[in-house]
Amino acid sequence: MVNRWILKEITIAGFRGFIEPKTFLISEPFILFDGPQRSGKSSTLVAIEWGLFGDEIAKKGIGIDERRDWKVRNTNADEARVEMVLQKGQDILKIVRSDKKKKGTPSFYFELNGNRDTDEGKLRAMLGIQPKDFFSSVHLHQEIIRALLTEEPRVRRDSLDRLLGLSELRNIIDGIKLAKISETLNDVDNKFGIIETKLNAVITSKRTEIQKAKETGIQKGLTSNDFSENSARRMCETVTNALVDFASQSGLFIADLPLVRNTGEQQIFATSAKESLRKLRDEHPNLRRQRELLEKQSQLQMVQNTYKVLLDELQKLDQKRNYIHRTDGNQEKLQFRISNELSPKLEDTKNRRNEIDKRAGTIEEAIKYFEAIKAPNEKQSCPVCEKPIDDVTHLQMHLNELRANLDEDLAPIREEIKKYEKEIEQLEDLIKSLDSLDQNIAIQFELLRKHKSVTETALEREIKDTEDPIVILGVELDKIQEDLQKLETAVKESNQRLNVIEDHTFKLELILRVLTFEDEINDLMKIIEKDEYKEVKKSKLELDEFAKGVDLIRQAIETILQKSAKAKLEAAKESIAKMFRTLANRSDFPDLEIDPDSFEILAIKGSEKVPALSIFNTGDLNCAGLSVFLGLGVAQELSHSLGFIILDDPSQSLDDTHIENLVSILNSIPDDKQVLISTSESDLKDLILSKIIRKKKRYKFDQWSDIEGAKPLEVQ
Amino acid sequence: MTDKEQIIEELEKSIAEVEKQKILRSICDEIFEEYDKGSAKAVSELLKRKINTLKNKFDDAHTILLKKMGL
């Protein structure tokens, strides 16, 4: 026991099942805690974990489900406190951890040979163990054993990793895998591959453009030999000469055209040449004069047309008025006829009608009177003398006869009145029409007057009242047409010359397009010689190198992990098998081993190896778990510095024979491993007391009480 | 011999070039340092940072090249 830390003393107060402080002196190589269930045995063992690792032992990552929502401090205590003393050779290590009800923050410190420190990491480094590994290789917990035997390969592998002290390497490998470097590499490879694809696509597109430009050029009269820099230069010279000649002959000025030593300058030249062409078309006297004449022609034609429309309208109105004057006379004559002829006749005829109407009026009143009577068969009174009238109907009949006679007399008179009234109305309408015509003719005259002013502006001269504007406009238009005809030949010639230059410029542009695309294709073909390409390749190589390096590191870690696992399993192989043979005592598959490659737990019979999970029952699996734990736990190759193992109620699910076998195994644990064991089984307790040959110390736990808490008693 | 020392020894067996050995040892040291500080996730983050730096450098060069190609 000289190379590892063993427990010498532990004092527990206010922790879980403990209320009052209890001290255990446990320097013997075998410590037994026995007593009924829920008496505080497990709290004692867990206090060791808490003292070493604090609240971390209750975290989810530890993998013990029953520790979720764990209460560290006993509800009847103000402080949970654990003090431990460990010894390794001459070194004494004291660890103190507490959690007070009021102050909140748990306190912790340790003293190595009296030197105090509070760094948890330092303590773990000194003990060479992390909480997870403690559960697997120091403190046997049923859940950890179950993880060893689970059907989930990852959980089984993790559990074995912990037992073998390989968790760190495995975690680093997982971290390397988690970085997904290969995904980044794939992405980079794809992008790098795309460069060539895109390159080909661009070159193909440019070749298509070249083909199109050449086809257009050949249609315009170029030959395939014309698509060269020399030909472009000659074309530039042709365009320059043509432009300069045309400008000088036209008395116009054009800016100097740029040099044409290479394709780039020739492109600038083509742009300048087009600009010069535009200028010459704008400024050439004949072309400009033609544009001006055409504009004037259009303007005068519009003025003339408007004039004609206005005049035409005026003539129509005048013709209408003249017709009325001729047929019916003017307003005065018409008014005279109404007033002196028709109105008197109308008046006279109306008087005659009124004479007859007087009588007719009386008869009409009488008829209306009798018609108004509601019941004509009743006797009525005379409306004048009020004497009764015997026969009203008869009277009505006479009255109607009289009215009919009078109507016969009135009919021609009425016709006569109607005739006069109609004639008067017609004459009045004619007067109105003449008034309207007079008004419209006046408006039309005003419009013509204004348009005359517009015409004078267009013609730039005054038009006398004696002159006909339409004719003047006609004369002017004839003159313009004459001028245009005179200009036509000169303009045609100028345009032809400019069109030829424009055509040359267009051909030049086609040649330049071909040359430019060819240069670009050549550039693209040489892209791998460019610095930009070299930079991409270099950065990709750096990435590949890094990824390759990380992969080599991963492979090296895998190799060391495998080597380490194999070495440890090889070292523990015999003790695992021996413990299983003793503990399970199966005749069919007496041996057990762990495959160092697959981490599979195998049941063995001679040369036959079968996965343990496929044939073992629960009791056998527990035996297997115990054997693996104890076999590895006692192996000298364990990586941590703790010299004790803890078995909490290890006989669960074991029958009497298995329990006896377990005691035999405990006897076989090397002397340099201190064993702390708890049990509620009296059979196991008795067997330990009677069969374990190592020096022992026993703490017997009485039934736990609410007031006192755990009540351990040292039994001599 | 610690695990890390064994790993470095293993790496030196597979890489002959001293310069490359130095680089790998340096990465290895960083990985173990990062693991000590945190966990597998910390190792992953470290490697991601490193690979992303190189990836960004590649992407920048790639973009410049594509521009040069007229894309």
What pLDDT, in 10s, does the model give residues A73-94?
Answer: 888 888 899 999 999 989 999 9
Whether B52 contacts chain A with CB within 8 A: yes
Residue A61 burial (10 A CB sphere; 0-12, 13-18, 19+): exposed
Nearest residue, CB atoms, A536 vs list B10, B27, B62: B62
**Chain A residue closest to B25 (CA)?**
A553
Is there a contact between B3 and A556 if contact means CB atoms under 8 Å apart?
no
Is there a contact between B65 and A536 if contact means CB atoms under 8 Å apart?
yes
pLDDT one-digit tens code per residue, A506-538? 999 999 999 999 998 998 888 878 899 999 999
Whether B11 contacts chain A with CB within 8 A: yes
**One-letter amino acid identity for A264?**
G
User: Which residues of chain B neighbour A560 with C-beta distances below 8 Å?
Assistant: 3, 6-7, 10
pLDDT one-digit tens code per residue, A142-151? 666 667 666 6
Distance from CA of B13 to the nearest CA of A (A): 10
Per-residue CA distances from A179 to A24, A120, A182, A675, B32 (Å): 49, 29, 9, 42, 15
- pLDDT band for position A60 (cuts 50, 70, 90): very low
What is the edge-to-edge ordering of all strands in the sheet holding A6-13?
A22-25, A6-13, A79-88, A91-100, A107-112, A115-117
Nearest residue, CB atoms, A527 vs list B6, B35, B69: B69
Query: Among B25, B36, B59, B65, which would you mutate to test the A interface (most chain A Cβ atoms within 10 Å of its Cβ)?
Result: B65
**Chain A residue closest to B29 (CA)?**
A553
Is there a contact between A536 and B6 if contact means CB atoms under 8 Å apart?
no
For the ranges A30-34, A345-349, A586-590, the lowest mean pLDDT is seen at A586-590
User: Which residues of chain A neighbour B45 with C-beta distances below 8 Å?
Assistant: 179
SS3 A100: strand
- pLDDT band for position A622 (cuts 50, 70, 90): confident
Q: Counting every residue, how long is chain B?
A: 71
User: Which residues of chain A neighbour B6 with C-beta distances below 8 Å?
Assistant: 560, 563-564
Check whether A59 has a pLDDT greater than 70.
Answer: no
Question: Residue A284 — φ and ψ, nearest 5°?
Answer: -65, 130
Is there a contact between A175 and B32 if contact means CB atoms under 8 Å apart?
no
Residue B41 burial (10 A CB sphere; 0-12, 13-18, 19+): middle
- Put simply, the chain B residues between 19 and 38 with a CB less than 8 A from any chain A CB are 20, 23-24, 27-28, 31-32, 35
Whether B41 contacts chain A with CB within 8 A: yes
Q: Chain-wide mean pLDDT for chain A?
A: 87
**pLDDT of the residue at A505:** 95
Distance from CA of A629 to the nearest CA of B (A): 23
- pLDDT band for position A687 (cuts 50, 70, 90): very high
User: Which residues of chain B neighbour A171 with C-beta distances below 8 Å?
Assistant: 35, 39-40, 43
Distance from CA of B29 to the nearest CA of A (A): 11
Is there a contact between A172 and B52 if contact means CB atoms under 8 Å apart?
no
Check whether A341 has a pLDDT greater than 80.
Answer: yes
Is there a contact between B27 and A550 if contact means CB atoms under 8 Å apart?
yes
Which domains, from first to last, does chain A contain?
A: 1-138+640-716 (3.40.50.300), 329-463 (1.10.287)
Q: So where are chain B's domains?
A: 3-68
**ipTM of predicted assembly, 2 dp:** 0.96
Distance from CA of B61 to the nearest CA of A (A): 5
CA-CA distance, A233 to A263, in Å (whole number)? 9
User: Which residues of chain A neighbour B59 with C-beta distances below 8 Å?
Assistant: 191
Nearest residue, CB atoms, B50 vs list A527, A546, A553: A546
Is there a contact between A552 and B68 if contact means CB atoms under 8 Å apart?
no
**Chain B residue closest to A523 (CA)?**
B69
Is there a contact between B51 and A539 if contact means CB atoms under 8 Å apart?
no
Give mean pLDDT, residues B40-69: 92
Q: Counting every residue, how long is chain A?
A: 716
Query: In A309-342, which positions are buried (b, 16+ CB within 10 angstroms) versus exposed (e)?
Result: ebbebbeebeebbeebeeebbebeebeebbeeeb
pLDDT one-digit tens code per residue, A154-163? 777 776 776 6
C-alpha closest to that of A659 among A690, A637, A694, A638: A690
C-alpha closest to that of A709 among A44, A26, A46: A44
Q: Are A9 and A84 in contact (CB under 8 A)?
A: yes
In degrees, rounded to 5, the angle at the alpha carbon of residue A692 between the alpha carbons of residues A680 and A604 is: 85
CA-CA distance, A557 to A172, in Å (whole number)? 8
User: Which residues of chain B neighbour A199 with C-beta distances below 8 Å?
Assistant: 69
Strand-pairing partners, residue A81, are: A13, A98
Check whether A638 has a pLDDT greater than 80.
Answer: no
Is there a contact between B55 and A540 if contact means CB atoms under 8 Å apart?
no
Distance from CA of A178 to the nearest CA of B (A): 6
Whether B55 contacts chain A with CB within 8 A: yes
For the ranges A471-475, A604-608, A638-642, the lowest mean pLDDT is seen at A638-642
Is there a contact between B7 and A175 if contact means CB atoms under 8 Å apart?
no
pLDDT one-digit tens code per residue, A535-594? 999 999 999 999 999 999 999 999 998 888 888 788 788 888 888 988 888 888 999 888
**pLDDT of the residue at A21:** 92
